[in-house]
Structure 1
């Protein structure tokens, strides 16, 4: 058992198919609303110029959209925040394109798609787009990617920063890759986190790293995004939306992250 410092949730951003913001996701999770007819098919972060939005892959648009929304909800200047970007697979559609092109006509690889294929592509777009010179971390831990991202953010808060942006996202798989690295649709979830003030203000998270297996979790939002590789993030999102007192995340290697939630 290893208890991490208590942290505050200062702002939330979220996006999935038919639910393009945290307000609609929260209502859906509570059973108070459904998917929105005519909702945008792709995220559209306003921080990017229109020509950049057209060129950027869905995974980057998704990450930037939820990151921007979380910062806005927190009233935080994004240029001043350290960030942790966590994704299970990065962009699987680009991975498929790269493999297919390299196996057939390797000299035809697009330079733009190549630079979007790296795992820290979204973090790079973000820091350049908002003019941020604070540290940016990009990680992956397969099914434990969200749990490990939250642990990383909490440890950064414990060590040397007052606030940190956590961005979790995954996009869809295509081609042969979809048989081994399964993911459907788009799901992104972002939190601006801060050190808890000890006064019980705001939503708080108490994180406890333990050995053990993660019990199954249920809820409308959890089931709705279960096919996406970042589905585990919906466990915390569902708990925050529903006012639950606790939830459990996979932390990898036979460990779990038990979370006690204090709601404001």
Structure 2
């Protein structure tokens, strides 16, 4: 971003210890980073959905794809950071949760309410991914699930940074969304399947450091390759940060709601 950054009165900061990423055709952070830099292409034989190894086989089959992608990137970020997943507090940010299940629930309740699936019902809540994560990881640490439409990832990042500022040693942040269908797709458009995760900590040498603060909106910028690949996904607003991490850029802004942006400076060791 070439525009000048409004300087903060107060900033939050954290180290970025680990990164996880999954999108159709870009099944991990290495593939996504190479693609973002123009050094790689879409992986033609990549799976259509993740298979998170944190869950037992029967749970992997039953989990909706939004849960699968959230857990896939969450575990990848923890592994990259060398952190025990059970030791981390977590923040899960999704614009819509699972809109395909929401559409099913609404349609079934309107037509044949007695046939509602108990499995789909318990997967319909917005904290489903956080719940699967805490069970699969054996995590007894606090887990937060939030939604703020296109500002979801930025607000999730603010929450994670605030937890670090108030005493947490490290926090896992996960952003994810799937596709919409039915009448909901006309008002809450989303396509594809996308997840990104960061393990943020108070202090660690040799990893990127992020400083963030709220200020006025950023000017529109040309989207990078990751943003163009998943432009129609509801979690696409988080992608400029991942592109900045891939390209080692030193500044980026994400939409934070109410006409503001979450501005960030990045230093790369």
Question: Which of the five TM-score ranges fits, normalised by the shorter chain?
Answer: over 0.9
Structure 2 CA distance for partners of 1:104 and 1:2, relative to 1, 3 Å: farther
Q: 1:2 to 1:224 in 2, by over 3 A?
A: farther
Match of 2:134 among 119, 124, 127: 127
Residues 206-241 of structure 1: per-residue CA shift (max 9 Å, x gap) = 102113355334211111111000001111001100
**Unpaired stretches in structure 1, ≥5 consecutive residues:** none
Matched residue, 2:167: 160
Give CA deviations for 1:152-173 in whole Å, capped at 9, x if unaligned: 0000000020100000000011
Equivalent runs, 1:79-228 vs 2, <5 Å: 79-196=86-203, 201-228=206-233
In 2: Cα distance, 1:127 partner to 1:156 partner = 18
Write the distance in 1 (CA, Å) between the matches of 2:166 and 2:144.
Answer: 15
- The partner residue of 1:240 within 241, 245, 255 is 245
List gaps (5 residues or longer) in structure 2. 1-7
- Mapped to 2, the partners of 1:57 and 1:125 lie a distance apart of 11
Aligned to 1:250, what secondary structure does the other structure show? strand
- Cα distance in 1 for partners of 2:122, 2:167 equals 31
Aligned CA RMSD, in angstroms, stands at 1.1
> 1:51 aligns to what?
58
Q: Does 1:261 align with 2:232?
A: no
Return the offset for 1:201: 3.5
**Equivalent residue number for residue 4 of structure 2:** none
- For residues 133 and 174 of structure 2, what CA distance do their matches in structure 1 show? 11
Q: 1:70 and 2:77 equivalent?
A: yes
Shift of the alpha carbon at 1:2?
4.4
Aligned length: 262
